[in-house]
Chain A
Amino acid sequence: MAQTIVHDTHATHGLTHHEIENLRPDDLRSARRLMWVWVDTGLAIFALMALLGVTMRAEQAGWISFGPDVFYSILTLHGVGMISAMALATMGGIWYMMRLEGPLDERVAYWAYGFIVAGVVAVIVSVFPGKFGAAWTFLYPLPFIGATWAPWATGAFLTGMMLVSVGWSIWCVQLLGCIMQRHGSLRNAMGWDYIFHNRAFTEAGKQPPSAQSFAAMVASIDGLLTGAAGMVIGVALLAHLFNPSVQIDPLWAKNVTYFFGHAIANLTIYMACAWVYVGVPRYAGRSYHTSVPLAVAWWGTLIFVLLAYFHHLYMDFVQAQALQYIGEAFSYLSALPTVVVTIFSCLMLVYRSKMRWTLGSIFIYTGLIGWVVGGIGALLDASIPFNNNLHNTLWVPAHFHTYMLGGVLLFVLGFVFMMLEERTGVASALALRWLVGTTVFGGMSTFLLGFYVAGAAGVPRRYATEPPPGPHVASWATVGAIVMLVGMAIAMIEGIRMATTKPQGRLS
Chain B
Amino acid sequence: MARGPLVLPLFLVLAALAIAVMIGIALSTRASTLELSAIQERAYALRRWWLSALIVVFAALFAITIPSFPYLKAAELTTAKHVPVTAEQFAFPMPAMLPVNTPIVFDVTSKDVNHGFGIYDPESRLLAQVQAMPDYVNHLAVDFKEPGKYTVRCMEFCGVGHAYMQATFEVR
Residues of chain A at the chain B interface (Cβ within 8 Å): 68-69, 72, 133-135, 137, 139, 141-142, 145-148, 249-251, 254, 284, 286-287, 293, 315-318, 321, 324-325, 328-329, 332-333, 335-336, 339-340, 344, 347-355, 357, 365, 368-369, 372-373, 376-377, 380, 383-386, 388-393, 395, 452-453, 455-458, 460-468
Contacts and interface: CB of A to CB of B under 8 A. Distances in A.
A458 B154 CA distance: 12
A457 B4 contact: yes
Contact of A372 (B18, B43, B162): B18
A380 B33 contact: no
B86 interface: no
Contacts of A347: 21-22, 25
Interface string B92-128: 0000000000000000000011101010100011111
Nearest to A393: B126
Nearest to B127: A389
Interface string B1-34: 1111101101100110011011001101101111
A284 B7 CA distance: 36
B147 interface: no
A456 B8 contact: yes
Contact of B138 (A318, A332, A386): A318
A501 B4 CA distance: 51
A254 B47 contact: no
Given A139-B113, A142-B158, A146-B89, A249 B11 contact: no
B126 A352 contact: no
Contacts of B19: 369, 373
B18 A373 contact: yes
B14 A137 contact: no
Contact of A458 (B32, B124, B135): B124
23 contacts: A68-B160, A69-B160, A134-B157, A134-B159, A137-B157, A251-B135, A317-B139, A318-B137, A335-B58, A339-B50, A344-B50, A348-B36, A348-B39, A365-B22, A365-B26, A369-B22, A373-B18, A380-B7, A385-B69, A392-B156, A393-B4, A460-B116, A468-B124
B140 A317 contact: yes
B120 A389 contact: no
Contacts of A333: 58
A390 B160 contact: no
A49 B136 CA distance: 36
Contacts of B3: 385-386, 388-389
Contacts of B74: none
Nearest to B58: A332
B129 interface: yes
Main secondary structure on chain B at its contact with chain A? mixed
Q: Which 5 A-B pairs have the closest CB atoms?
A: A458-B126, A385-B68, A456-B8, A463-B163, A355-B29
A332 B112 CA distance: 34
Given A344-B50, A384-B68, A385-B68, A452 B61 contact: no
Interface residues of B, number: 77
Interface centre among A146, A286, A329 (most CB of B within 10 A): A146
B71 A317 contact: yes
Nearest to A453: B8
A148 B33 contact: no
A321 B129 contact: no
Given A352-B31, A369-B22, A376 B11 contact: yes
Given A328-B65, A384-B65, 17 more contacts: A146-B113, A146-B159, A146-B160, A316-B136, A332-B62, A344-B43, A344-B50, A347-B22, A365-B26, A384-B70, A386-B3, A457-B5, A458-B118, A458-B125, A460-B116, A461-B157, A462-B162
Contact of A460 (B11, B133, B135, B154): B154
A324 B51 CA distance: 24
A460 B155 contact: yes
Contacts of A352: 28-29, 31-34, 39
Contacts of B31: 352
A372 B26 CA distance: 15
Contacts of B5: 456-457
Contact of B69 (A373, A384, A390, A468): A384
B37 to A, nearest CB: 10
A287 B136 CA distance: 55
Interface centre among A141, A287, A383, A456 (most CB of B within 10 A): A456
B87 interface: no
Given A146-B89, A355-B29, A372-B18, A335 B162 contact: no
A383 B7 CA distance: 11
A40 B163 CA distance: 36
A139 B61 contact: no
A389 B4 contact: yes
Contacts of A467: 124, 153
B64 to A, nearest CB: 9
A351 B47 contact: no
Contacts of A340: 47, 50-51, 54
B83 interface: no
A366 to B, nearest CB: 9
B138 A465 contact: no
Contact of B7 (A317, A335, A348, A389): A389
